[in-house]
Structure 1
Amino acid sequence: MISGPTLWSVTQVMEDDEFVDRFIAENKRRLRAAYAKLAGALDEAGIPHVPACAAMFSWVDLRRGLRIAGWEGERELWQRLVDCGVVLTP
């Protein structure tokens, strides 16, 4: 359940077409910049990835980082990445 004041606040923001247009444009700009940085770093490191066309997800092939084959290896790689501050959805 959403409180009345919260619902009112969100409604005010969403009804402000100028704000929403600026927000969406800025969000797209930031996503493009973040993706360009990620893709550049992956290319520089020689890590295969699928070029993204939308959203905030990237498919990255990290198999060469596996020390152990199978799910245990994937969990271990995921933990090493988390320990370095990289958060992935496995």
Structure 2
Amino acid sequence: MRSPNLFNPLCPYCRKNDRVTKHGKGSSGLPRYHCKACRRSFQTQYYYRGNRPETNEQIRQLIEQGWAPEKIGAYLKISANTVNRRLSLYKQNKGH
């Protein structure tokens, strides 16, 4: 039996790391892994694009250009609900 790999993370599904291999990168650019024991893939971290600092400014600019929230969400690869929440906050702050 191989010794546990110190560089590969523990599989969150089967709790093994001796059969975990690198499996490319996710859409956010973070590394993905594949567990050969349970045949599932996973990431150790997740990064939602809607939390990026520049997202609010991008939403504001696209709204001012007449884009619909659904189109903005698809373009920025975030949820239309996120766009609507940010738009609502923007309108509240603009009024004060």
Taking structure 2 as the reference length, the TM-score comes to 0.28
Larger relative helix fraction: 1
From the two aligned structures, give the one with the greater strand fraction: 2
Greater RCO, 1 or 2 (C-alpha within 8 Å, sep 6+): 2
TM-score by length of 1: 0.29
